[in-house]
């Protein structure tokens, strides 16, 4: 029986087990929405902006392990996805983004709301394609889901011209697909694994460095087993956090320019660096010449192009993290490295990640989050709020952290939480954001309210774009250039120090929450933190905004100054170790 392209689209989503669709209509997508009208099996979510939409799909995908699916119209609908596509693709999140398009015969005519979205997204997605023939539609959608979720997951953009949506044709949807130019690696090279094991067995000061690849492969349990079997300490990147429970006694901390002293020191001193699922981004290596300078380096990654790009490695292994770790578990043995482990633990005890005790600090907020929530998804925005969360949040197999690690997208946290809550209604979902980041997608408060999503939104309000302000304070002579969120025209030019006379903050987040129909609580004293979360937990139908008024010039410490080696970090303001 012949069906329209739009009907086939809906059928395809069902065949792919899509139960939640993040969608915003428009002229060139109206047929697709018509086919979705009254659809019972697919929950169609209408966010308030396409950027919020794509971040929500991203949060849904990261927290459920399923493919996140977006549907938007042509032109501005499509271009509003761009930041979210880059965000998801950079962190290897599987998304399929359907964009409406003007009819095929109008493409290239500068038609109303026409953009070349395939051209625009080509360099920031895994694959992008315009469907030009109705008979290609089913196979293209099948291909899109397959490419998005296999290999190194990523974003696929499928551009659907309006006449393809309307055209009648076959209703068949393929069960399987094979693409000759795309054969993701599914095996593990035993010879390379044996070489890796041999090096590991001879190590005296080994560490595991674990990146986001382990979380994406859902290999957390296996990774913990591998650490326990070998007795080798584990360090994570920000994206790898949670690969082993942060409370585990072999877990040392995060590496990187805001990593812990113990983790960075262990990397600098180790003799074997066994890395899995990380691309050695510049934010984790510091000065590249001194990174793990004395170590033999083993690198397991699904993406051959990530191996020996930034860091030259001794043993490369191209493989899926979970499969590789499973093979390692068969071959690895306990190592006698107790002296080394003791040394690393001593660093961790002597130089713990901490924060001054005075007043309302982000650490105190996160301590309460750690204590109150056991089964939860915590999302962050980008900046100081993110870095503090990666430092102080405890993560285990029931608690997950979602953050924009690669692209570093402000405005990610709150919409991602909406997606996470939709995908995990039984879990508590908490956003840790800043006063800057929340305003980049604050319109999604309406989405959270109308879909009755009791998300807890923690705004750490210091009245600054704090991370940039911190750099300005430390490296740019306190030139607080365009970072003050309390600035008004009357302030004049060139402020380098906040004072008691600074203008009031706008907006008033509590009244704003109220006007959306959400709850708002302002907290200024540390003793009120817990009570605020307790109240928020009682709001089971609406989101709660908790605004924490924190010290205006609080910094993320320690920090490796730009260009420095990892071992050369500033632990506290005014004190330079090394």
Partner 1 sequence: MKKRWICLFVENEIGVLARIAGLFSGKSYNLDSLTVGTTEDSAISRMTIGLTSDDKTFEQIKKQLNRSIEVIKVVDYTDTPIHMKEILFVKVNCRSEEDVAELFRISNVYGVSVIDYDTTAVLLECTQTENRNNDIIALLKRKFINRIEIVRGGSVAVEAVSICER
Residue 479 corresponds to which tokens in the numbers above? 């030139």
Binding-residue total with partner 1 (CB under 8 A): 21
Query: Which listed residue (104, 111, 179, 446) binds partner 1 by CB under 8 A?
Result: 179
Given the structure tokens 């956003």, which residue do they identify? 431
518 binds partner 1 per the rule CB under 8 A = no
The CB-of-147 to partner 1 minimum distance in angstroms stands at 6
Residue-by-residue DSSP string for 159-220? EEEHHHHH-EE-----S----TT--------HHHHHHHHHHHHT-SSEEEEE-HHHHHTT-H
Residue 556: C-alpha distances to residues 25, 162, 216, 392, 466 (Å): 41, 50, 27, 11, 9
Closer of 152 and 399 to partner 1 (Cβ): 152
Given the structure tokens 């929950």, which residue do they identify? 43
Residue 464 corresponds to which tokens in the numbers above? 């600054």
215 in Cβ contact with 240 (< 8 Å): yes
130 binds partner 1 per the rule CB under 8 A = yes
Residue-by-residue DSSP string for 138-164? HHHHHHHHHHHHSSS--EEEEEEEHHH
Binding mask 139-178 for partner 1 (x = CB under 8 A): --------x----x--------------------------
Query: Which listed residue (48, 62, 126, 348) binds partner 1 by CB under 8 A?
Result: 126
DSSP letter, residue 259: -
313 in Cβ contact with 297 (< 8 Å): yes
280 binds partner 1 per the rule CB under 8 A = no
**b/e burial code for range 73-95 (CB count within 10 A of at least 16 → b):** bbbebbbbbbbbbbbbbbbbbbb
Phi, psi (degrees; rounded to nearest 5) at 500: -65, -15
122 binds partner 1 per the rule CB under 8 A = yes
Closer of 155 and 401 to partner 1 (Cβ): 155
Closer of 35 and 147 to partner 1 (Cβ): 147
The CB-of-211 to partner 1 minimum distance in angstroms stands at 18
Q: What is the dihedral of CA 145, 148, 151, 153, to 10 degrees?
A: -150
Binding mask 296-335 for partner 1 (x = CB under 8 A): -------xxx--xx--------------------------
Query: Which listed residue (11, 132, 195, 537) binds partner 1 by CB under 8 A?
Result: 132
Closer of 39 and 303 to partner 1 (Cβ): 303
Look at residues 403, 393, 428, 437 and name the one whose alpha carbon lies nearest to residue 251. 393
The CB-of-252 to partner 1 minimum distance in angstroms stands at 31
Three-state DSSP class for residue 228:
helix
Closer of 106 and 449 to partner 1 (Cβ): 106
Closer of 303 and 528 to partner 1 (Cβ): 303
Closer of 282 and 534 to partner 1 (Cβ): 282
180 binds partner 1 per the rule CB under 8 A = yes
Closer of 181 and 336 to partner 1 (Cβ): 181
137 binds partner 1 per the rule CB under 8 A = no
118 binds partner 1 per the rule CB under 8 A = yes
Closer of 93 and 335 to partner 1 (Cβ): 93
Contacts to partner 1 by CB under 8 A: 118-119, 122-123, 126-130, 132, 147, 152, 179-182, 303-305, 308-309
């Amino acid at each position: 029986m012949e069906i329209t392209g739009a009907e086939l689209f809906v059928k395809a989503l069902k065949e792919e087990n899509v139960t939640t669709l993040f969608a915003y209509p428009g002229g060139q997508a109206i047929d697709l929405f018509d086919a979705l009208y009254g659809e019972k099996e697919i929950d169609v979510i209408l966010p308030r902006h396409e950027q919020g939409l794509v971040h929500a799909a991203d949060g849904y995908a990261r927290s459920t392990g399923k493919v996140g699916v977006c549907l938007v119209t042509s032109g501005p609908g499509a271009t509003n996805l761009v930041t979210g596509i880059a965000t998801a693709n950079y962190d290897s999140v599987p998304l399929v983004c359907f964009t409406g398009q003007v009819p095929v015969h109008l493409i290239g005519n500068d038609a109303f709301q026409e953009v070349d979205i395939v051209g625009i997204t080509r360099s920031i997605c895994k694959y992008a394609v315009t469907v030009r023939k109705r008979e290609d539609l089913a196979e293209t959608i099948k291909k899109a889901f397959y490419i998005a979720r296999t290999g190194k997951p990523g974003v696929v953009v499928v551009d659907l011209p309006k006449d393809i949506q309307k055209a009648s044709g076959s209703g068949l949807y393929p069960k399987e697909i094979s693409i000759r130019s795309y054969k993701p690696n599914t095996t593990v090279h035993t010879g390379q694994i044996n070489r890796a094991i041999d090096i590991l067995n001879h190590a005296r000061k080994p560490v595991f460095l674990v990146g986001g690849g382990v979380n994406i492969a859902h290999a957390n349990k296996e990774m913990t087993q591998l650490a326990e079997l070998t007795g080798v300490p584990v360090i994570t990147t920000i994206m790898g956090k949670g690969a082993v429970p942060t409370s585990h006694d072999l877990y040392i901390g995060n590496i990187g320019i805001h990593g812990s002293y113990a983790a960075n020191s262990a990397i600098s001193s180790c003799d074997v660096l066994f890395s899995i699922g990380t691309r050695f981004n510049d934010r984790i290596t510091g000065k590249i010449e001194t990174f793990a300078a004395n170590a033999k380096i083993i690198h397991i990654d699904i993406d051959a192009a990530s191996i020996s790009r930034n860091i030259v490695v001794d043993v490369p292994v191209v493989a899926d993290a979970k499969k590789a770790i499973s093979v390692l578990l068969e071959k690895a043995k306990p190592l006698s490295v107790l002296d080394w482990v003791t040394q690393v633990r001593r660093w961790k005890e002597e130089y713990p990640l901490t924060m001054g005790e005075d007043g309302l600090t982000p650490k105190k907020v996160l301590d309460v989050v750690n204590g109150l929530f056991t089964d939860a998804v915590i999302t962050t925005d980008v900046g100081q709020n993110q870095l503090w969360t990666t430092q102080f949040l405890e993560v285990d197999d029931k608690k997950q952290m979602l953050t924009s690690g690669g692209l570093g997208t402000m405005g990610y946290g709150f919409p991602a939480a909406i997606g996470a809550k939709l995908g995990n209604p039984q879990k508590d979902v908490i956003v840790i954001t800043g006063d800057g980041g929340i305003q980049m997608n604050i319109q999604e408060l309406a989405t959270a309210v109308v879909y009755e999503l009791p998300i807890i939104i923690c705004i750490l309000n210091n009245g600054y774009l704090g991370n940039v302000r911190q750099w300005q304070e430390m490296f740019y002579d306190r030139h607080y250039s365009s970072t003050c969120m309390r600035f008004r025209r009357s302030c004049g030019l060139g402020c380098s120090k906040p004072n008691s006379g600074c203008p009031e903050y706008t907006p008033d987040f509590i009244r704003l929450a109220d006007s959306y129909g959400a709850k708002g609580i302002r907290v200024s004293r540390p003793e009120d933190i817990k009570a605020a979360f307790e109240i928020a937990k009682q709001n089971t139908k609406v989101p709660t905004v908790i605004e924490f008024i924190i010290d205006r010039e609080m910094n993320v410490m320690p920090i490796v100054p730009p260009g420095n080696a990892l071992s050369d970090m500033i632990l506290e303001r005014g004190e330079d170790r090394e």
